[in-house]
Amino acid sequence: MPLTSIPDLIAAAQPGGLGAFNVIALEHAEAIAAAAESAKRPVVLQLSENTARYHGGLAPLALACLRIAADSDAAIAVHLDHATSTEFIHQAIDLGIRSVMYDGSALDYADNVAATTAITAWCHQRGVHIEAELGEVGGKDGVHAPGARTDPDEAVEFVNATGVDALAVAVGSSHAMHTRTAELDNDLIAHLAAKVPVPLVLHGSSGVPDHGLRGAVEHGMTKINIATRLNIRMTAAIREHLTQDPDLADPREYLAPARTAIRSEVEHFLRLLAV
Ligand SMILES: [Zn+2]
């Protein structure tokens, strides 16, 4: 299927939420695309600045994701997640990525508005969709305060000032949680959804239990970002296989079941988010 835009995927996912999953290795991208095909749901393949740094550059994995998306029968977009530098966004767009998240949340409000406005104008001149963050989703890099909440009036002001197309908001989730114990503030989600004129994005969704994710979608959350849950399942499958066979040497012997584990986890979330 030709590459699809995030607004088209959001429309295709409704009345449910759009699942967006982070890719670290090639196996993630293969598993996520396969899950989208079997669940018959749209998905987003996301690449973070941290993952690009791990691979020594964005191009190899980004080009693989774009090709996997283009070759899939499912509707898939490739998105740059948590970019803190404009140079990295320029690189992504040069590679063919058509959706980016600019994360200026470490800046104070005025600087976040100024930086996000400039990069949004640059993206819009190129027809690129842009997500931004306000209110510090807890946990990322240890710098964000847990318990942060996005103020609805400030969110409206921020979206109107910057012109962004989607907004990541802080409503009780936190990045990189290994337990699914985060309790979301559904009243705040509903309040934000009623006031903010663009789709809302939930980061740190791996720490939210199933009923919490469904509730978030039912209260107006649109794009649901999931990373850590896939890695927990992937690593557990690898650990199990290496424990069973300590002499195992061919990586395909443990990466294949790891890929299957990611796929079943993504299928679970896609069915859950279909509400
Ligand atoms: Zn995030």
178 CA → ligand 1 middle, Å: 15
Told to judge if 165 belongs to the known catalytic residues of this protein, a careful annotator would answer no
- Choice between 208 and 19, residue whose per-residue pLDDT is larger: 19
Average pLDDT over residues 2-15: 91
Tens-place pLDDT, residues 146-200:
578 889 999 999 999 999 999 999 998 888 888 888 888 999 999 999 999 999 9
Q: What is the pLDDT of residue 141?
A: 42
| Residue 17: pLDDT over 90 | yes
Instruction: Indicate which residue of 8, 71, 73, 81 is catalytic.
Output: 81
Could you give the angle at the alpha carbon of 18 between the alpha carbons of 189 and 43, nearest 5°? 155
Cβ-count burial of 1 within 10 angstroms (0-12 exposed, 13-18 middle, 19+ buried)? middle
256 CA → ligand 1 middle, Å: 27
Tens-place pLDDT, residues 72-94:
999 999 999 999 999 999 999 99
Look over the chain and give the mean of its residue pLDDT values, rounded to a whole number: 93
* Bond before 146 cis per omega within 30 degrees: no
Are the C-beta atoms of 73 and 14 separated by less than 8 Å?
A: no
- Ion ligand 1 neighbours, Cβ < 5 Å: 203
% of the chain residues with pLDDT over 70 = 96
Cβ-count burial of 7 within 10 angstroms (0-12 exposed, 13-18 middle, 19+ buried)? middle
Task: Say if pTM beats, i.e. exceeds, 0.75.
Answer: yes
Tens-place pLDDT, residues 108-139:
889 999 999 999 999 999 999 999 988 665 54
| Residue 234: pLDDT over 90 | yes
208 CA → ligand 1 middle, Å: 13
For residue 65, give the H/E element and its range: helix 59-71
Q: For residues 116 and 103, give the distance between their C-alpha atoms in angstroms, rounded to a whole number.
A: 8
Residue type, 267: E
105 CA → ligand 1 middle, Å: 11
Using alpha carbons, list the distances in angstroms from residue 230 to 29, 77, 78, 140, 238: 11, 18, 17, 17, 12
